[in-house]
A and B are shown apart, each in its own frame.
Chain A
Amino acid sequence: MMVPVRCFTCGSVVGEHWEEFKQRAREGDEDPAEVLDELGVERACCRRMLVSHKDLVDIVSPYQ
């Protein structure tokens, strides 16, 4: 629903990078790998947290 605060595997905080990642790689047309490198998200375990995330709040909220 919301982006996970931490990486499930290693526990480093990844939530803080989500909005920039979303804006640049999802809505923008930058290469996700390069954006993640620039954000300092190095390990594969942390990278997949952002790459595979989908915000669902907008989808769920009409059915409150």
Chain B
Amino acid sequence: MSDQYDVTFIEQDERSAKFLVRGITPAFANGIRRAMIADVPTLSVDTVRVIENSSVMFDEQIALRLGLIPLTTPDDYRPEETVTLAIDVEGPATAYSGDLVSSDAKVQPAEEHVPIIDLKEGQRLELEADAELGYGKDHAKHQGGVAVGYRHLQRVELGDERGEFAEDDPEIIRGVIEDAGASETSRAAGDGGELVETASFDNDLGNRYPDRNVSVEDVPNAFVFDVETDGSMSVDDLVLSAVESLRTRADELEDAVQL
């Protein structure tokens, strides 16, 4: 396998991205996906010290909700390091994730408007919570990547004209296609063709090429990743730390089996 991968971004945002990687094996693509879900550590509330909870929910339920709130995770934290967050809200009011006060300014709730508990007159929620750096493989609350997946890049080749009385069946495909038929110039230039998201023609190739026969095949070793994060880090950080964790573990294995 080569050391250079060809990466093309199709969509890029702070919290979600779609990108094409060429030159990786299916096993490596799946390794990256799994690393993004399970092996990139994020901070999440783990231990809660309740001072007063007179709300309608039990302490444990509140603690679960706090754990699920994504916290921004700076990259200088080590596993088992903790940050303390405190909350004190008195009813009638709703306690939001934004009411959490953190001991480290860099660690903040990624979303401010997640309702934790609705407090009525005379009810109060006061507690301290310790957030811990943990891995997605230990608890889903530490998963930085949300709905991470990949698909083969598919190449569409145009065939001959469709017969006048041919059946008008839809040709449904999803993901991203490499459209070799779209322009002769791009094919001459040697690249596979224009990258088109299937959503742009309603996932039906019949809409894009109404009167042509088309053939669709997977492009070997080219994968389109679809990555979203829960807000604890940017997509760039998530993907890079996932790849880094793969590399670290590969190095560890190499060291371990050396004679």
Q: Does A33 contact B (CB under 8 A)?
A: no
Chain A interface residue count, CB cutoff 8 Å, equals 20
| Contacting residues, chain B, for A61 (C-beta < 8 A) | 56, 120
Q: Which residues of B contact A3 (CB under 8 A)?
A: 115
Question: Which of B1-9, B63-71, B153-161, B250-258 lies at the interface with chain A?
Answer: B63-71
Binding site for B on A (CB under 8 A): 1-3, 5-6, 10-13, 15-16, 18-19, 43, 55, 57-58, 60-61, 64
Q: List, sorted by A's number, 27 A–B pairs whose CB atoms are closer than 8 Å.
A: A1-B61, A2-B116, A2-B117, A3-B115, A5-B68, A6-B68, A6-B230, A11-B143, A11-B146, A11-B147, A12-B228, A13-B69, A13-B70, A13-B110, A13-B230, A15-B113, A16-B113, A16-B114, A18-B115, A19-B115, A57-B56, A57-B117, A57-B118, A57-B120, A60-B56, A61-B56, A64-B56
| Beta-carbon contact of A12 and B115 below 8 Å | no
Minimum Cβ distance to chain A for residue B250 (Å) = 27
A-facing residues in B196-255 (Cβ within 8 Å)? 228, 230-231
The answer to whether A12 touches B230 (Cβ under 8 A) is yes
Given contacts A6-B68, A57-B56, A61-B120, contact A15 B231 (CB under 8 A): no
If A12-B147, A16-B113, A18-B115 touch, does A1 touch B57 (CB 8 Å cutoff)?
Answer: yes
Contact A2 B118 (CB under 8 A): yes
Contact in complex: A15, B147 (CB < 8 Å): no
Residue in B57, B114, B230 whose CB lies within 8 Å of A11: B230
Give every chain A residue within 8 A of B70 (Cβ-Cβ). 13
Q: Does B140 contact A (CB under 8 A)?
A: yes
- The answer to whether B194 has its CB under 8 Å from any CB of chain A is no
Bound state CA distance, A57 and B121, in angstroms? 12
